[in-house]
């Protein structure tokens, strides 16, 4: 990556069409891209626009936009959101925001926070308490508490507007895991900071959907329930989560109850997953192979 301190890290011109009204994205309240700018439109096809997306370091200018994006991180429960946003902004070397221009509000963010480094923060204690309260299996609850207390656990904070194009998935994962974290391990100014990015495991908190007629999955990995019946199908709002879930050490999910779900809607869930760095890397390779990764193509072009 060239010029990390002046990081306009990537840009993508993507075509975005109309969403199916019955898709999960239409069941989640959103203002769409909000700050998107229409560049070109085929007069014969009014359903497609070209949009430029750019990646930036989190910055003070993003405070209110990030707070709006993360205010439902605990599904409507009050928590120290401003503190979480401040932490993301101060840790600018590892973290990415997605915008349509430098002045616009972020429509997405991804970062990795070392839980032990920030264990005194109210926002992280509140996240832990929220997850422990929602976890219904005592064995999984014990595992969650164990990894939360261990050194080397990274909390992945990843949110973006529900109708962001899926093509953003690969470059965002690539920026965080394949560029920023290795850069920080090698180049942060102090040994303490460098060591704080030597993650031994990653804890993901994601948004998924499920048929309202079936019970929420717990334990994950598509295991059959008692009686030989298959659990309800999980619908992944973001492409990367399907691959991370497939390779996770353990996972559990719980319903989002902050808003009513209509009869014909899918039930929104939170999915919590634990992965080792090797498992996450394998999941990303599959993601890049299936979805593609424009960032890798740009690197190859630059090297030739």
**Dist. CA 181–CA 114, nearest whole Å:** 11
Look at 171-185, 221-235, 261-275 and tell me which has the smallest mean pLDDT. Answer: 221-235
* Domains of the chain, start order: 4-17+42-303 (3.40.630)
Question: Which pLDDT does position 51 carry in this prediction?
Answer: 76
Question: Which pLDDT does position 230 carry in this prediction?
Answer: 65
Residues 6+ positions from 217 with CB-CB distance below 8 Å: 210, 231, 232, 234, 252, 253, 269
In sign, the C-alpha dihedral spanning 264, 269, 242, 89 is: positive
Could you give the C-alpha distances from 141 to 120, 125, 270, 301, in angstroms and in order?
Answer: 21, 15, 15, 46
**Dist. CA 81–CA 68, nearest whole Å:** 9
**Dist. CA 162–CA 238, nearest whole Å:** 8
In this structure, the strands spanning 153-160 and 201-210 are parallel
Look at 51-55, 87-91, 154-158, 176-180 and tell me which has the smallest mean pLDDT. Answer: 51-55
Distance of CA 114 to the CA centre of its chain: 16
Higher pLDDT among residues 184 and 38, named by residue? 184
Q: What is the pLDDT of residues 185-195, one digit of tens each?
A: 999 999 999 99
Name which of 155, 177, 181, 182 is nearest 287 in CA terms: 177
pLDDT at 208 over 80: yes
Question: Which pLDDT does position 3 carry in this prediction?
Answer: 38
pLDDT at 149 over 80: yes
Numbers of helices and strands, H then E, in the chain: 10, 9
Radius of gyration of the chain (CA): 19
pLDDT at 59 over 60: yes
Q: Does residue 135 contact residue 220 with C-beta atoms inside 8 Å?
A: no
Considering the entire predicted model, what is its pTM?
0.81
When pLDDT is cut at 50, 70 and 90, the band that residue 211 belongs to is confident
Helix (H) or strand (E) holding 51: strand 49-56
- pLDDT above 90 covers what percent of the chain? 64
pLDDT at 303 over 70: no
Residue whose token pair is 């605990």: 74
- pLDDT above 70 covers what percent of the chain? 74
């Amino acid at each position: 990556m060239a010029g990390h301190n002046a990081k306009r890290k990537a840009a993508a011109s993507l075509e975005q069409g109309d969403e199916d009204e019955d898709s999960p994205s239409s069941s989640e309240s959103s203002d769409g891209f909000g700050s998107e700018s229409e560049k070109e439109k085929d007069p014969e096809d009014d359903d497609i626009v070209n949009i430029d997306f750019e990646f930036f370091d989190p910055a003070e200018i993003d405070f209110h936009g990030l707070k709006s994006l993360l205010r439902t991180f605990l599904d409507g429960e009050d928590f120290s959101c401003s503190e979480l946003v401040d932490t993301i902004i101060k840790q600018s070397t590892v973290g990415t925001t997605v915008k349509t221009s430098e002045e616009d509000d972020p429509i997405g963010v991804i970062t990795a926070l070392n839980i032990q480094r920030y264990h005194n923060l109210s926002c992280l204690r509140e996240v832990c308490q929220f997850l422990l309260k929602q976890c219904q299996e005592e064995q999984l609850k014990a595992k969650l508490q164990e990894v939360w207390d261990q050194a080397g656990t990274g909390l992945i904070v990843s949110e973006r507007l529900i109708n962001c194009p899926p093509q953003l998935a690969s470059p965002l994962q690539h920026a965080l895991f394949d560029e920023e974290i290795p850069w920080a391990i090698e180049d942060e100014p102090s040994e303490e900071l460098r060591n704080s990015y030597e993650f031994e495991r990653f804890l993901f908190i994601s948004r998924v959907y499920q048929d309202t007629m079936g019970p929420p999955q717990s334990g994950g990995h598509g295991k059959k329930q008692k009686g030989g019946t298959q659990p309800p199908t999980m619908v992944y709002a973001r492409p990367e989560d399907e691959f991370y879930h497939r390779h996770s050490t353990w996972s559990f999910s719980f319903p989002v109850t902050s808003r009513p779900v209509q009869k014909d809607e899918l039930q929104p869930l939170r999915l919590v997953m634990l992965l080792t760095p090797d498992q996450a890397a394998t999941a990303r390779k599959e993601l890049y192979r299936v979805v593609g990764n424009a960032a890798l193509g740009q690197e190859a072009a630059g090297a030739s």
